[in-house]
Structure 1
Amino acid sequence: MIKSISLTMSPRISFASKGFTVNGVQYEGSLLCIGNLLLSWTPKKFSEITPNCLSIFQLVRPIPEILILGCGRYIEPVNPELRQFIRSTGMKLEAIDSRNAASTYNILNEEGRIVAAALLPYGVSS
């Protein structure tokens, strides 16, 4: 089950060891952020991220120009199947550690760009 929250303002994300703080509210676990929509996200570690976990991007319009993938504590190599799926949606991919992913998302969002973030908690590794 996906829990979602529609925010009235653009989310401002910071990391925590077990999750994230969004606009001052703490969330435990992984998050998927698309525009002003915040979703709890199923994967608990990087190896659990599959095209199916990101299938919402086959439905979302407008398509974000970039998906920022927060890999947890360390940058992880993205498998070719997942990379191809993301490319097929029309998005670019930036896979970085979750601390920098949250910061990058905030900056691009503040610039008014259409971006998405799929974030694993910072304390997580593959």
Structure 2
Amino acid sequence: MKLQPDRFDVQAITGYGPGWVGVNGERVTGSVIIASSGERLPWPVQRFEDLGPDAFQTLAGLDIEVALFGSGQRIRFPRPAWLAPLLERRIGLETMDTAAACRTYNILAQEGRRVAVALLLEPAA
């Protein structure tokens, strides 16, 4: 799906599909963390089963007020213990499928919120 915001002054997700996401028009095919402040970091997670205690540490290190997790093509929730780095910084995490996380990120970023999204991009079947 292609997304066309009216105008973006922040890093935007411009499209998505199975196994990819567009960030400011550039196609990204590996799991990624994107922040409205401009960070785009590779996320070494290829499958939901790859998540572990350190999976959300990078998100916790960003200067954000809202964190989103796109769990792939269907919604799956991380174990509560894995969210400890975020909770220590008083950052909540909203979990949704990757497509919904892309749309939600754009809305929050366009509102000027300090938001980051961790997108699990599973290889296309």
TM-score normalised according to structure 2 size:
0.80
Check the 8 A contact 1:15/1:122 in 2, yes or no.
no
| Equivalent position of 2:94 in the other structure | 94
| Equivalent position of 1:41 in the other structure | 43
Check the 8 A contact 1:97/1:122 in 2, yes or no.
no
Residues 122, 110 of structure 1: alpha-carbon distance in 2 compared, 3 angstrom cutoff:
farther
As a proportion of its length, which structure holds more strand?
1
Unpaired runs of 5+ residues, structure 1, are: 1-8
Query: 1:85 Cα deviation (Å)?
Result: 3.2
| Equivalent position of 1:50 in the other structure | 52
What does residue range 70-89 of structure 1 map to in structure 2 within 5 Å?
Answer: 70-89=70-89
Unpaired runs of 5+ residues, structure 2, are: 1-8
- Overall identity of the aligned pairs, in %: 28
Residues 25, 50 of structure 1: alpha-carbon distance in 2 compared, 3 angstrom cutoff:
same
Residues 58, 68 of structure 1: alpha-carbon distance in 2 compared, 3 angstrom cutoff:
closer
Check the 8 A contact 1:51/1:85 in 2, yes or no.
no
Query: 1:123 Cα deviation (Å)?
Result: 5.8
Q: Please give the alpha-carbon distance, in whole angstroms, between the structure 2 residues aligned to 1:97 and 1:85.
A: 22
Residues 38, 122 of structure 1: alpha-carbon distance in 2 compared, 3 angstrom cutoff:
same
Tell me the C-alpha RMSD between the 2 structures: 1.9
Q: Please give the alpha-carbon distance, in whole angstroms, between the structure 1 residues aligned to 2:50 and 2:86.
A: 15
Check the 8 A contact 1:15/1:121 in 2, yes or no.
no
